[in-house]
A and B are shown apart, each in its own frame.
Chain A
Amino acid sequence: MNKSQQGSFFGRIDWVTIVLWLLLCLIGWFNIHAAVFDPEHPNIFSLETNYGKQSIYIFTALLIGVSILIIDSRFFISASPIIYIVVMLLLVTVLIVGRNVGGNQAWIPLGSFRLQPSEFGKLATCLLLAYYLSSQAGKMPNNKSLFIGCLIILLPVALVMLQPDTGSALAFFALIFVFYREGYIGNSVLIIGALAILLFVLALLINQWILIGIIAAVCIFFGFMLRKRRKNIINIAILFFASSMYILCVDFAYENILQTHQRNRIDIILGKIDDPRGQGYNLNQSKIAIGSGQLFGKGYLQGTQTKYNFVPEQSTDFIFCTIGEEWGFVGSVVLISIYLFLLVRIVNIAERQRTAFARIYAYGVASILFFHFFINIGMTIGIVPVIGIPLPFISYGGSSLWSFTILLFILLRFDSARKGLSPM
């Protein structure tokens, strides 16, 4: 055990993570300044502007963070079910009294401030999932616990889908990493998941019958190679029929279950729609902004694509465009490195926890941050369809900043207190 864990209260806190957190908050703040720069209010603290407001959110987030570090970590464990219930109620409330912004009924107006309960839904779900799975920690992972764990996730997903905010709902599925780490699902599920995504994309790109033919050929080849064991042949046959059915379903699901705009977003990514002025406008402008940053970027406040509104949502979902445009490839890589460092560190923190709750919770945090990081940046550069979710700590918005900060700081609280907690 190293020194920091044995020192004072502050000594036991993982300062590296806090520095990373602060860095991301500041990067966000400065880039919001650049993204929605208003020449009439150039000051970054100017409260008439979003960057001025963000400075308050960051400061408040800091206060919240400090408060969390002071609270007894056991409180979060015992309060998990209550927090979950409260947030679920909020998610129901928002469907009734919520303010509809941009087609999503996602905000509860609180005076001049608007609360977005779905952001807190992830936190609550993480907590309850950790609470429940840690209670099952003594047993071998079994399907009943997996089922209940899934229910914990699916309730907020369903509520968020009703808003309807598909992007935020999808983020909950990132918690699959938690099940994986805890052994509820095996490597095969990851592989099958990856295969499913691959087949999904291929099914949309290639005629389904041709695709099935190709798969048949591949299966016959492997069946022939592995013909010594009968079991292999049966597995391959099952795999073939499963994939064939899946492919046939994809087409049906794609046409009938997805909404038009969702379908369009996927088609744009796959290059099936080329419409830079209409459907593809956002993505095209986003890529232009980032691509025009080149190696070193245009410089702070020198970007034009985001500042002059060519990129939509440039301070929230598309904030990465400003970073790409003004700081170039170098700046973007720095940001990605910070994220990656943070994510890897959270996993390391998770593994050093002595309690199952803290570890499971930590994986939940990592999964959710990772999902946002990947999907948000991925959509701005055109490797995933446009899904409107924020870039944690960076995108403008109080709800998102606070919920991610709370998410992270609760983890830090567990980490700093891990000596005092007995393993469950």
Chain B
Amino acid sequence: MNSFFARKYVIQGIFIAIALIIVARLFYLQIIDDKYILSANNNVLRKVVVYPARGVILDRNNEVLVQNEPVYDLLVTPREAKEIDTALLCRLIDIDVKGFNDRMDKAKKHSPYRASIFEKQLSSETYASLQEHLYKFSGFYVQNRTVRNYPDSIAAQFLGYITEVNDKDIERSNGFYSPGDYIGKSGVERAYEELLRGKRGVKNLMVDALNRPKGVFMEGKYDTLAVTGDGLVSSLDKTLQILGEKLMKNKLGSIVAIEPSTGEILTFVSSETYDPNMMVGRQLGNNYMKLLEDENRPMFIRPIQASYPPGSVFKVVAALTAQQAGVIDDKTTFYCPGGYSYGGGRGFMKCTHVDGSTDLVKSIQRSCNTYYGYVYARMIESRGMPTTKAYDLWREALGQFGLGHTLGIDLPGEKPGLVPTSDYYTKSYGNATWRSSFNISLSIGQGELGITPLQMANIMAIVANRGFYYRPHLIKGIGEEKIVKKEFTEKIYAGVDAKYYEPVIEGMSRAVNIPGGTGYSVRINGIEMCGKTGTVQNPHGENHAVFFAFAPRENPKIAIAVFVENAGYGGTWAGPIASMLVEQYLTDTITLAKHLQDRIYNASLLPAPKKVEQPKNSTIKADSTKKNTQQANTTRATNNELVVHHSQVRRRNEQVAAR
């Protein structure tokens, strides 16, 4: 009967063989090939990003400049979105049916199974009305995050703005950013991006096959909390900033005010400005285009990106560098016959006055072009060296004053301005034998010089400090500990000894505080403000008005530069603005005559729709400083004759060469 007994072993052998095949296969699946654990996690894990709140930015008195406001992103999982009331949803979030379909198609393209953003940044109000109906829209849900909010709508160019990261940002960040993140695109938001952005948190949710959340993975073992970005304390004074922006309304230009003892920037006005809240939310794209197309270029950060010839305010630097170089001292006098004659009488640089014998203090007080023509001539020609070398030495001295290079402010996009090298003039002259007459307009801050308003304010800070400055900066404290960046605590010397400042300061003080000074009209009762007006040649239109000042004379608290484009005479437009800001900062009040204030507030000096008030009096007077300020703008008309521009000089030299 058991004749086939041995076949038992064959059968058992087959059983064992199959079992071994199964075990071998399992060994491969479970031990060797580790792609399955990844696929499993892929299946079940949904990383939900918890967006951190961006750091808040405060002003120097801990008043809020930028804060966060909750908004709500509407997400959709297309596969789950079925039989919904499209019309109702469209109405609730204010889109049309086409918009709905476009968004839905985009989401489907992304993935029918996973949630993608349907509509971004719904406001709290929209969310409130949507929320009541949300249960009707299966597959839709809301994720909240925060956006920036600017309670006073000020300091747009300083604060900058944030947008969603683009592909390049993601690439550059080595994986820090992922689509949907925000990144600072300009201003402080960009400069301090790494501190402000905080750290994203991740919640590892588990979902089932239908993508329904099923709980937290590993009890949150791999979850990370979102870390709020570091808060920043700005050096800005909010009150002063608001005042500054109000004063600059409908004018192009800049205001930069610096606390000389620290380099902290108190006011940073770039006009035309815009409401930073425009760069937030669903209208960002449209608003951005609007701002880009605006001919007044509100996105242009004038204080650090616009560079102009400084005009007469440059005489302060000329006087200081000349003393240090030893070509003049406080007793040096030159005779002013109402202008500086040069190039063997072929050129004449006019003064606004005929002052006769003028010393250093008076030269500043009266802004004497003649004096500085002589100073420059000595600087270049009387130092026992070739003019090119003398010029380059002088250029180096200007560099120490922060001209011709960036100051290192904590904002992206700072421009260096321009102080041409001797080579530049050698090239345009044809050889190295040029003399001071070739570029005499440099002596009074005209010509090729390019100086940013920030650099102007910094010059004032140097003068206020009698010889040194701190890098101007906008953020004075980072995070909880209010850390100050090291580079902002380092004293930088401007290369002119302290003793040389007194005559210049005396001149600036007289210019404001003594009748007949160029800035007498904007003096402040009880405060000795030292200032200097400037009027900058503008070949394209009205001259630019400059005023820079610091106050009080002893132990100065504020150094300020005001630059108003196309405004005309500096004492008329820039002076009162500076004066009001200084007084506001030092005393919290403004005593300037009401009509003077109103004139500034109401003036529109924008170039495009020309609403500039016409001069009441078109007479041309050489000495406008004696006229009252209302009439001072008439001097504009004379400006064309004030200075011989380089173009003329060059033309003449070309003629000589042609002969």
A interface list, Cβ under 8 A from B: 137, 177, 180-183, 187, 190, 284-285, 287-295, 304-305, 307-310, 324-325, 328-329, 332-333, 336-337, 339-340, 343-344, 347-348, 350-351, 356, 363, 366, 370, 374, 377-378, 381-383, 423
Asked whether, in the complex, the Cβ of A183 is within 8 Å of the Cβ of B29, the reply is no
B1 part of interface (Cβ distance < 8 Å): yes
The answer to whether B33 touches A182, judged by C-beta atoms less than 8 angstroms apart, is no
Q: Is the CB of B30 within 8 A of A328?
A: yes
Are A287 and B36 interface neighbours, CB within 8 A?
A: yes
Tell me whether B29 and A378 are in contact (CB under 8 A).
no
Please state if B40 and A383 are interface contacts (CB–CB under 8 Å): no
Contact of A329 among B4, B18, B27, B34 (CB under 8 A): B27
CA gap between A348 and B15 in the complex, in Å: 13
Contact B12 A344 (CB under 8 A): yes
For A292, the closest partner residue in chain B by CB is B40
> Could you say which of A295, A308, A328, A363 has the most chain B C-beta atoms within 10 Å of its C-beta?
A308
Contact of A310 among B27, B33, B34, B43 (CB under 8 A): B43
A323 CB to nearest chain B CB (Å): 10
The listed residue with most B CB atoms (<10 A of its CB), out of A291, A324, A348, A363, is: A291
Interface string of B7-38 (1 = CB under 8 A from A): 11011100110110111011101110111110
Q: Are A356 and B1 in contact (CB under 8 A)?
A: yes
Report the bound CA distance from A295 to B33 in whole Å: 11
Which B residues lie within 8 Å of A383 (CB)? Answer: 21-22, 25
| A343 with B4, Cβ < 8 A, contacts A292-B37, A329-B31 known | no
Known: A181-B11, A344-B15. A308 touches B26 (CB 8 A): no
Which residues of A have CB within 8 Å of B195?
Answer: none
Contact between A308 and B209 (Cβ–Cβ < 8 Å)?
yes
In the complex, 16 of the A-B residue pairs with CB atoms within 8 angstroms, ordered by the A residue number, are A180-B7, A288-B40, A295-B31, A304-B206, A308-B43, A308-B44, A310-B209, A325-B40, A332-B26, A337-B19, A347-B8, A347-B12, A347-B15, A351-B8, A363-B11, A374-B22
Residues of A within 8 A of B44 (CB): 304-305, 308, 310
> Hey, which chain B residues are within 8 Å of A324, CB to CB?
26, 29-30
Tell me which residues across on chain B come within 8 A of A308, comparing CB atoms. 43-44, 206-209, 214
Closest to A366 in B: B11
Q: Do B33 and A305 have beta carbons less than 8 Å apart?
A: no
> Which B residues lie within 8 Å of A325 (CB)?
40
A291 with B15: in contact, given A187-B10, A309-B208, A336-B23 (CB under 8 Å)?
Answer: no
* Interfacial residues of chain B within 533-556, with CB under 8 A of chain A in the complex: none
Partner of B36 from A290, A295, A339 at Cβ < 8 Å: A290
Interface string of B272-302 (1 = CB under 8 A from A): 0000000000000000000000000000000
Contacts of A182 in B (CB 8 A): 4
- Known contacts A347-B12, A383-B25: A183-B4 contact under CB 8 Å: yes
- Interface size (B, Cβ < 8 Å)? 39
A290–B28 alpha-carbon span in the complex (Å) = 11
Extra inter-chain contacts (10) besides given A284-B39, A310-B209, A351-B8, CB under 8 Å: A177-B11, A180-B7, A181-B8, A183-B7, A308-B214, A309-B208, A329-B30, A336-B23, A344-B12, A363-B11
| B31 and A288 contacting across the interface, CB-CB below 8 Å | no
Task: Contact check, B30 vs A294: say whether CB atoms are below 8 A apart.
Answer: yes
Chain B: which residue is nearest A295 at the CB level?
Answer: B31
The answer to whether A288 touches B39, judged by C-beta atoms less than 8 angstroms apart, is: yes
Residue of B whose beta carbon sits closest to that of A344: B12
The answer to whether A344 and B16 touch (CB under 8 A), given A190-B10, A294-B37, A383-B25, is: yes
Residues of B within 8 A of A292 (CB): 36-37, 39-41
Chain A min CB distance to B84 (Å)? 24
- Evaluate contact between A381 and B40: CB separation under 8 angstroms: no
Query: Most chain-A CB neighbours within 10 Å: which of B3, B8, B16, B29?
Result: B29
B30 / chain A contacts, CB cutoff of 8 Å: 290-291, 293-295, 324, 328-329, 332
Q: Is B385 an interface residue (CB 8 A)?
A: no
Determine whether B657 belongs to the interface, using a CB cutoff of 8 Å to chain A.
no
Given contacts A288-B40, A292-B40, contact A381 B11 (CB under 8 A): no
User: Which residues of B have CB within 8 Å of A310?
Assistant: 43-44, 208-209
Cβ contacts under 8 Å, B18 to chain A: 370, 374
Residue ID in chain A nearest B45 by CB atoms: A304
Chain B residues with CB below 8 A from A284, complex form = 39
Residue in contact with B33 in the complex, picked from A181, A291, A347, CB distance below 8 Å: A291
CA distance A30 to B401 in the complex (A): 82
The smallest beta-carbon distance between A199 and chain B, in angstroms, is 19
Tell whether A289 pairs with B10 under 8 Å between CB atoms, given A309-B208, A336-B19, A336-B22: no
Q: Which residues of B contact A347 (CB under 8 A)?
A: 8, 11-12, 15
User: Contacts A182-B4, A333-B26, A347-B8; is A309 near B19 (CB within 8 Å)?
Assistant: no
Whether A181 contacts B4 by the Cβ 8 Å rule is: yes
Q: What is the bound-complex CA distance between A2 and B15, given in angstroms? A: 27
